[in-house]
Amino acid sequence: MARIGMRREKRIALIAHDQRKKDLIEWAAWNKESLKKHKLFATGTTGRIITEKLGLEVSSFQSGPLGGDSQIGSRIVEGAIDILIFFWDPLESQPHDPDIKALLRLAVLWNIPVACNRSSADFIFSSPLMNENYDRIISDYGEYSTKRKVDI
């Protein structure tokens, strides 16, 4: 087992599909003061809207369909994202569904908290751990990567 430290100032990725952007903006407005205490990242359109409507500083990546979900996934692997708030639309097929599945898989693999709706986001944000240092425990995948041999 390995531990990855999360500081009091969390690095939070915010993503919302088009039909869920209104929900995310309303949730972010309600939690604006809490969000100000953390470093925020987002996919392109979501980040732009949060900055314009709420005045929060957000580091934005590409739009999701243009690779933004994958960019956030790579930051998770690098240990640069602590929490994923991803209001996804379960009723709408997305052109980048494989990227979404990969992003959620990486979040689970690297043991970061994930909120997919307002209730789960509220539970994460109301946790006393949001304002404390915290060590995430992740499985040691070293054996997996050293045992995999590819014959070329």
Q: Is 69 one of the catalytic residues?
A: yes
Provide the terminal-to-terminal Cα distance of the chain, rounded to the nearest Å.
Answer: 32
In sequence order, what DSSP letters do the residues of 30-75 get, joined into one string?
HTHHHHTTSEEEE-HHHHHHHHHHH---EEE---GGGTHHHHHHHH
Residue 116 is encoded by which pair of tokens?
């997919």
Which residue out of 69, 135, 140, 151 is catalytically annotated? 69
Is residue 83 classed as helix, strand or coil in its secondary structure?
strand
Backbone angles phi, psi at 74, to 5 degrees: -65, -35
Cite the active site residues: 69
